[in-house]
Structure 1
Amino acid sequence: MLYPILALISGLILLVWSADKFVLGAAATAKNFGMSPMLIGLTIVSFGTSAPEILVSFMASTSGAGDLAIGNALGSNIANIALVLGITALIAPLPVKSGVLKKELPLLLGVTILAGVLIFDFHLGQLDGIILLITLGVCLYLFSRFQKNAPQDALADDEEDLPSLENRKAIFWLIIGLVILACSSKLLVWGASEIAYSLGVSKLVVGLTIVAIGTSLPELAASVASALKNHHDIAIGNVVGSNIFNLVAVMAIPGLIAPIGMDEIVFQRDYVVMLGLTFLLLAFALWQKPPSISRFEGGILASAYAGYLVLLYTMTVS
């Protein structure tokens, strides 16, 4: 038990440090290459912080633990919206630009509904995995189109607060931060999973809680660091992009490698919670004028996550 606890602590420390460097490199790269911070958040940061989920999903699928992979994808999305955005908004209220409200958030909702259609039969097969991967390509294309059509004055406003680093140094911190993010997350998840398994917790619940929270910590660290640096677009784009990656990339892996059936509760409880939180996020952004996620709404999201964990606990022990 000692080694898993040490892995948990050291993984968390490295995670926080690498997230700060990763955001620094990502923001500077956005400025140097003329890319908007939102596009960086939706692509580079989102893929980087989803790397732990992708790795865990691949390892779980190849070892016959596909239910852990599914739990990881759904649980991470629930954690990203309720825990990551909730805590980030509590620290620094997040403005939501009209472009995000009209394009990226509806795209996330559409992908979430598509994922529900594919698992409605409580089975994830190879055809489902192929459809999800095709959807990933469509989403990447749309991200690029969205940012090309963004108003130039909005992009200029974003770039004013970006750090100034030469290309070589910016890319260095981007890569170093990304590598350590992935490694520290793996270390943290291993330690947490070993502790959970020793207590006799099911693989699905481990995927929905311990592994999901562990693999969502990069998103939490990167989003909080971005918000504190006033890079709100990276914080919002990171969560939206990461949730899309989790559904179309992470969840596609078990379908492609080892098609699996799943318990009805996965759809009836966990998917429904994820879909409900996605609708809630969109509603919160629409409610405020101008659109934003306030501290009060961040508190509601964080409380919703605590309630979800209580629900999992009560259903597990009953």
Structure 2
Amino acid sequence: MLLLFLAFVGSLAVLLVSARLFTRAAERIGLALGLSSFMVGVIIVGVGTSLPELITGLFSVSQGVSQIVSGNVLGANVSNLLLILGVSTVFSILRPVYLGEAYIAIDLHFLVGSAFVLGVVMFDGVVGRVEGLFLLAAYGVYVAYLLKEGSSGQSGGTRPPVAPRDLLVVAMSAVGIYFGAEWTVGSLQGLAGGLGVPTAIVAVTVLALGTTLPELVVSIT
């Protein structure tokens, strides 16, 4: 059992570190190609921080253990909403967490709306391809709003050249993400079998907590 757990921790570490390196290098490449810092944050960093969940989900579906997808999505979001915000607020004794007016007026409504949409598509226990396309379309609306709001006031400035090192890091970290996700799914199935519990239970707890640890550390910092 200890070996199974260590294998899961090691594969998850490879996945998270590779995703972090990929995101940082892609961010520098995006700036070098002329993207505004806001667009880089919304597109590259926003998607890059979700790469562990995304690639793990793709491997889970391809290997016929789609319960990992739903378990990780639900568990990671609950962890982000309750655990990370709660722990960050407790650690911030002298400085409460403030929300800007834009967060309250727009983003909070998007969050509530996305939770409602997710509940609707998952209510029957199956998420089909059409429902998946609808979820992607809804996310596209949110990204379009962010880009529209953030495009005002963006200045050009001097662009750094694309560093060959960043291209190499992107390529190598992409390989790390691929194998890290594959190993994570495999070790997760082994861990669930060793514990004698459904894979979905391990995904909604251990995997979800593991993939949100970087956000927890950043928020506390």
Q: Cα deviation per residue 1:212-232 (whole Å; 9 max; x = unaligned)?
A: 233x24xx325634874xxxx
Unaligned runs of 5+ in 2: none
> More relative contact order in 1 or in 2 (CA 8 Å, sep 6+)?
2
Cα shift at 1:56:
2.9
Deviations along 1:14-67, one digit per CA (max 9) or x if unpaired, are 466556645644665576545245x44433223223223223333333444333
Q: CA RMSD in A?
A: 3.9
1:121–1:24 Cα change, 3 Å: closer
Aligned to 1:294: none
Counterpart in the other structure of 1:110: 113
User: TM-score, with normalisation over the residues of structure 2?
Assistant: 0.70
CA distance in structure 1 between the partners assigned to 2:64 and 2:13 by the alignment: 31
Query: Which residue number corresponds to residue 206 of structure 2?
Result: 210
The Cα shift of 1:184 comes to: 3.8
Output one character per residue of 1:291-317: Cα deviation in whole Å (capped at 9) or x when no partner.
xxxxxxxxxxxxxxxxxxxxxxxxxxx
Alignment of 1:111-150 (within 5 A): 111-149=114-152
Distance change in 2, residues 1:100/1:30 (3 Å): farther
Deviation at 1:175, TM superposition (A): 6.1
Alignment partner of 1:35 is 2:36: yes
Query: CA 1:226/1:41 → structure 2, altered by over 3 Å: closer, same or farther?
Result: farther
Aligned pair in 2 of structure 1 residues 122, 142: CA closer, same or farther (>3 Å)?
Answer: same
Distance 1:211 1:86, change over 3 A: same
Report the residue type matching 1:54 in the other structure.
L
Deviation at 1:200, TM superposition (A): 0.9
Which residue, 205, 212, 217 being the options, matches 1:224? 217
User: How much does 1:201 deviate?
Assistant: 0.8
Q: How many residues align?
A: 215
Q: Name the counterpart of 1:73.
A: 73
After superposition, residues 1-318 of structure 1 pair within 5 angstroms as 1=1, 3-11=3-11, 13-14=13-14, 17-18=17-18, 21=21, 24-25=24-25, 28=28, 33=34, 35-37=36-38, 39-87=39-87, 96-149=99-152, 167-168=162-163, 180=176, 183-184=179-180, 186-214=182-210, 216-217=211-212, 220-221=213-214, 224-225=217-218, 228=221
Q: Runs of 5+ in structure 1 lacking a partner?
A: 156-163, 229-318
Q: Percent identity?
A: 26
The answer (yes or no) to whether the contact 1:36–1:147 under 8 Å persists in 2 is no
